Amino acid sequence: MGGETITPPTFTSEDEPSVDQDFPLPSLFSQNPTLVRDDLGMKVEHGKEEVDRLLYEEFGQLAPQFSSSASLEFEADDKRRHNVYKEVLHSYYQLQVRSTSLNEVKSKVLSYVPGAWIENVGGMKSADYDVPKTTALLLIGPKGCGKSSLVNKISRVFEDDKFAPERAQVSFNLSAGDGTCYLQEYMIPRGSASFCLYDSRSLCNDTSDNINMIKCWMTKGVRHEELVVRKSDQSSLRRRMKCKTRERSWKSCETRMVNFVIFVVDGITVLKSMEGDGPDETQYMEMITRAFMCPYLSFKDDKPAVVITHGDLLSLADRVRVRVHLGELLGIPPAKQIFDIPDSHDPATELTIVDMLRYSLEHADRNLPRKNWVYKVFLSACTYLLAMLGIAIVAAYVKHLKMRHAHKSEFHIDWHAIRHMWLED
């Protein structure tokens, strides 16, 4: 994760997974789920060999089965998928190893300023880009996926005060509340102006509503405390929103253009959709896919970063399956662009949060818009013309003064030269 090159775990000849083994799919509701992630934290001190053994015990059965009559293309595809599984699996081990450098990686994010990670390519320099005062990262996801909880987790990682109250309101009972109805801006950390997170209203089952919301945010920008109303909202919900809106102070807030998007999904719901074929499961995955593929969310070729929540309620095997499935569904590398952030407070989880933010900020800087050179040239031409006009006006005024002085000189009477005319009298 975090954009690094991951080396798959190495096995001894005795422990190497066999390609003749089956590829079973673990159940979500098994009686005794194996939470290997906790075991990894305890066993990592015994060395990489011990962790590899533990990984093989959990995933040795995941080796694909090849039919003797299978085509070369099918066999290569299965091998590729198996390597992806191993790469994602090994990323959890690497988190444990890299967590010792958490403070160093965190300091790099804390020292970030907008445009700091611009790549000077194509003959372009930092001065050639339109760098914002604050980099804005927009959180998007379905209802109950954990966007507000993610804001609190991120804030807690960068706050010195571990006992500070949570900043974002989290819905406890989804059926009893309306969720986030207003855009909310959160500076990270508090008091900073380098980058901020925007918590947004949840996606719904109406694709047109989702596309309209996304288009508005990505083309017109986002503003703190702005109310988000959808066409499909029922009249009762609209009345509740109207009661909540006691003032329109959001109109005085600064509009920020979105610099990058973080797409949040619930790992449990994704796994249920993978194992079920009911209308609810199908609808959830269609909503995620259509929203994620919306062209307004992408910056050139860069698609949003994806965060999976609630992984602490799943086994490690299921967490890997969810990441690989989403990677194949959304067309992004699961080990580098999909970040598993459970509801935990251990160093590995904090490092995942920092990796995700660094990935997002780097890609935000990479895709900053170039300055409008047409407007710049036009502005320069106007400035030049105004300067020339000013010079012409000053020159005309000076000439006018000289002419007035010359005109007065023509009718000047030298009284001293003709004084004898009246003295003789």
Domain 102-366 has CATH 3.40.50.300: yes
Which parts of 44-71 fold into alpha helices (H)? 48-59
> Strands across the sheet with 338-340, in order?
184-188, 195-199, 135-140, 260-266, 305-309, 338-340
Show me where the domains of the chain are located.
Answer: 102-366, 373-423
d(CA 262, CA 133): 20
Residues 207, 341, 227: CA angle, nearest 5 degrees: 40
d(CA 304, CA 72): 33
How would you class 124 by CB atoms within 10 Å of its CB: exposed for 0-12, middle for 13-18, buried for 19 or more?
A: middle
Closest C-alpha among 319, 309, 343 to residue 37 = 319
Each of the 425 residues of the chain gets a pLDDT tens digit; together they read 444 333 334 434 344 333 333 333 333 333 333 334 444 444 444 445 554 555 555 555 544 444 455 577 777 777 888 888 889 999 998 998 999 999 999 999 999 999 999 988 888 888 889 999 999 999 999 999 999 999 999 999 998 777 788 889 887 766 656 678 889 999 999 989 999 999 999 999 999 999 999 999 999 999 998 989 888 888 888 787 777 766 655 566 899 999 999 999 999 999 999 988 788 888 999 999 999 999 999 998 999 999 999 999 999 889 999 999 999 999 999 999 999 999 988 999 999 999 999 999 999 999 999 887 544 555 666 777 787 887 878 777 777 777 766 555 555 555 566 656 555 55
d(CA 275, CA 99): 33
d(CA 85, CA 62): 8
At 304, the amino acid letter reads P
Residues, the chain, total? 425
Residue 229: Cβ within 10 Å count: 14
